[in-house]
Structure 1
Amino acid sequence: MSATAASSASALTPRFDQLRRRLTGAVALPGDPRYAQLSTPWNVAVSATPAAVVEARNAQDVIEAVRFAAEAGLPVAVQATGHGIADALDGALLVHTGRLDECVVHPDGWARVGAGVRWQQVLDAAAPHGLAPLCGSAPNVGVVGYTTGGGIGPVVRTYGAASDRVRAFEVVTGDGTLHRVTAEQEPDLFWGLRGGKGALGIVTALEFDLVPLREVYGGALYFAADDTAAVLHAWRQWCVGLPEQATTSIALLQLPPMPGVPEPLAGRYTVAVRFVWTGAADEGAARLAPMRAVAEPVLDGVGVIPYPAIGMVHADPVNPMPSYEATDLLRELPAEAVDALLAVAGPQAGSPQVIVELRQLGGAFAREPHHPSALSHRDAAYTLLTIGVPAPPVRDALVAHGDAVRAALAPWATGGALPNLSAGTGAERLARSYDPATLARLSELARRYDPFGVLRAGQVPVR
């Protein structure tokens, strides 16, 4: 914690004692045993040092925390799993919602979850009913943060964004008021909470529709470094003709030799073609056949899998780790763009990145939902994402190389970015996350529902 933040926390200690008496949950200050555990983000390269942490047990605790912050002149941040925290939060009151763990699946096709629930819990609870949530590639991520950022997962081209399936929110706005929000009841908040990524309040519970899906044909084909150019060019041509039952991405990988990384991939440069088909398995195999024919995979991990195992498609890391990320959206991917990417991130480029990924969008994602939302950039064709581990000896090179990858693909970039990819803060990141009209409307709603400017910490619209 900075000296200023530590001094501020010390000066407010008596008032934090007052806050404790207003809560069912707990307050953790610097030096308390729970403080580090609750405040540490998933990305351990970020050192979060809030003035205090409220471990909320219910929505009333969130209300009390927000009202206290307004009285004390503190900004408020929120964390459940910590995947979205991107700055130090010095001087902020961090509301930790991990104990809000309600998870109820209704057999007629919808679920209600608390803000502390992770996707794997919903996957496992929905499976006995033949139902599936629109989770992300990493089921260890929290449901609420992912959904309020839009939610672009492994079946997004078939079913659209997770935020499009929301029925209702329960949210504490910056004025310390708890709202139940639906399309008919508080439609402005319903618009902004779907894609606004925490700009308008702290969500305590979420209700959303599930889809009937027991299993998928999916996984990843991994190819050797020598086949990179052939595979990437073939993927570019192949994915353009895919129907909406298919969602695919491609990743240039340099995975370290560590537990959980298969031997054919560990310590080597490989290329992963990820593929999920929501139709019949034989049709999926036929659709994937052209990519299997490009070269002999070093590992073929595609087959019929139960939907609760959807995390194996991307095989994202589960445990906290340091990372640096950069992202863009692309409007197209011509052959020249593939060559530009190979020049800066191919096997001979000396890339320090662990992952350089392209995800195809389009399909159901490109269509506006029945109820419009703040999720922007539905016309983008691909996402670009680089992920590196900021550790010696490549730490200093990561940022420059991430910029170089973006620069190489700049001729085909839209200038936008999706809120959930590459967590970040500040005016520049916000301007990339939303089109001007959407950002202006989010800012107006933030002024209305947060008149004291309490929700200043994290990714919120500029005022």
Structure 2
Amino acid sequence: MHTLRPGQDGYTEEVAGFQTSVATRPAVVVAAETAEDVVAAVEYAAEHGLTVSVQATGHGLTAGTDGLLISTRRMTGVEIDPDAKTARVGAGVRWGAVIEAAAKHGLAPLSGSSPDVGVVGYTLSGGFGLMARRFGRAADHVRAIDVVTPDGELRTVTPGSELFWALLGGRAGFGIVTALEFGLVPVAELYGGGLYFDAADLPAVLRAWRTWAMTAPDELTTSIAVVPLPDLPFLPEPIRGKHVANVRIAYLGEDGDSAVAPLRAAAPVLLDTLKRLPYTDSGSIASDPPHPHPYHGTNATVEVLNDGMLTSIVEHAGPGAPVATVLIIDRLGGELARRPAAGVGWDSAAEFVVRALSVVEDGVDPIRRAHAKLFDALAPWSTGRLLPFLYGEHPAGDLATAFPAGDVARLKQLKAKYDPAGRFG
């Protein structure tokens, strides 16, 4: 078990995460390579009265950690069983590694928009991805979880276990996951990419996308992102330095061009990247930024997108908005609405989730105020929030808005049962 403390070589690099606006300075870091290292770390924390947090790829938050931080980024084993169509991965594995390994067998995981995101954090927070309307959440396909509980025991939990239920969607506080086993789907390629429009045409594009998305087949997962792009040479010239509306599409059907025809007619298209592509290139659909940066954001699930809501979205996230904001609207429904959640509850009534994210430059207060104006306008139609998209906020304080009341009560009971001393964050 390799440990690091403040001031030692390698400490700063070990605690650095993707979210740079939230400082983390634990008293001790354990660089774990095996499940046994995690057990030893939990036992050490208990002996010394330290709180425990975990960080794999750093996309999740460890804000406020002043105790022991377990870094699992070295636990990168990936095993594919092509006959069973399953993957078993270590706690530090990112989706990109699973995508590449599964593709050799004509299979794919239910990964999200970015291949750089960690598998465990994404899955435990209830993340949904590029094929969610056809196959549901990644959490819905988990077969087994290896977890070290606060008592220092390494357990394997499976569907039907109360701890399995709490971990899937409840995200944190019940133990340190060391490995996941989950199902894969027989997908080798899809029709995907994006249509980019000038944000000046945002009202027309939003209305066209809303109407089109509501009638889309389950094989089609889509979102629209309103993004102020920088004037940098790595961006294609047609969209460089422009405020754009980017319709993102991942479609498992064969008639991609005809399926998106109504969108191409919505407004002049600045850039069209739609084509058939191997699933190994699926990260190009959203082209999420790969470099760590400071950001803050929130979200709301909604049952409808009416014209008044679209007007508020244009006002608060379009050109001329008071705070530069990346706004993303995801179409939900399909299998997300039909499949019973394997873990903590999923808002099956929601048709869309609206997400807002801003880069932190002068503190988070101006961002919070700007985002509040938008989400206050959406509040009459909101059904709650989704845990994966609470950027810059610690999830522990958001259970009441992320889960049904019955699930919140059960989570608190299980937290008291498995972590009575409250040491796990």
Q: Name the TM-score, length of structure 2 as normaliser.
A: 0.96
Superposed, which structure 2 residues align to 1:168-247 within 5 Å? Answer: 168-183=144-159, 187-247=161-221
Q: Report matched runs for 1:24-173 at 5 Å.
A: 26-85=2-61, 87-89=63-65, 91-108=66-83, 109-173=85-149
CA contact (8 A) 1:253 1:269 kept: yes
Partner residue in 1 for 2:262: 290
Contact 1:150 1:162 in 2 (8 A): yes
Cα distance in 2, alignment partners of residues 417 and 262 from structure 1: 34
Distance in 1 of aligned mates of 2:399 and 2:242: 36
Gaps of 5+ in 2: none
Contact 1:352 1:397 in 2 (8 A): no
The corresponding residue for 2:278 is: 306
Question: Which of 381, 399, 402 is 1:430 aligned to?
Answer: 399
Structure 2: distance between partners of 1:182 and 1:148? 14
Instruction: Determine the structure 2 residue equivalent to 1:373.
Output: 343
C-alpha displacement of 1:427 = 5.5
AA partner of residue 206 (structure 2): L
> 1:39 and 1:427, CA in 2 relative to 1: closer, same or farther beyond 3 A?
closer
Describe the SS at the equivalent of 2:387.
Answer: coil
Is contact 1:236–1:334 with CA below 8 Å preserved after alignment? Answer: no
For residues 220 and 426 of structure 1, the distance between their equivalents in structure 2, rounded to whole angstroms, comes to 31
In structure 1, distance between residues paired with 2:73 and 2:245: 36
The secondary structure found in structure 2 opposite 1:340 is helix
> Once structures 1 and 2 are overlaid, which stretch shifts more, 43-52 or 340-349?
340-349
The aligned counterpart of 1:322 is 294
Whether the 8 Å contact between 1:66 and 1:454 is mirrored in structure 2 is: no
Mapped partners of 1:350, 1:438: distance in 2: 37
**2:378 aligned with 1:406:** no
> Which of the numbers 286, 304, 307 marks the counterpart of 1:332?
304
Q: Paired residue for 1:454?
A: 423
Q: Identity, % of aligned pairs?
A: 42
Q: Distance in 2 between matches of 1:410 and 1:80?
A: 34
The TM-score normalised by the length of structure 1 is 0.88
Q: How far apart are the structure 1 equivalents of 2:243 and 2:3?
A: 46
- Which segment drifts farther, 404-413 or 28-37? 404-413
**2:80 alignment partner, SS class:** strand
AA partner of residue 112 (structure 2) = G
5+ residue gaps, structure 1, are 1-22, 458-463
- For 2:410, the equivalent position in structure 1 comes to 441
> Once the 2 structures are TM-superposed, how far is the Cα of residue 367 of structure 1 from its aligned partner?
2.0
CA shift for structure 1 position 452: 2.6
Q: SS at 1:410's partner residue?
A: helix
Q: Does the 8 Å contact 1:228/1:347 carry over to 2?
A: no
User: 1:276 is matched by which residue type in structure 2?
Assistant: A
Query: What is the Cα-based RMSD across aligned positions, in Å?
Result: 1.6
User: What's 1:356 paired with?
Assistant: 327
Q: Which residue matches 1:12?
A: none
Q: Name the amino acid aligned to 1:131.
A: L
SS of the residue corresponding to residue 357 of structure 2 reads strand
- Report the counterpart of residue 230 of structure 2 in structure 1: 256
AA aligned opposite 2:107: L
Amino acid at match of 1:420: P
Q: Is the 8 A contact 1:326 1:403 kept in 2?
A: no
Out of 381, 385, 389, the position equivalent to 2:355 is: 385
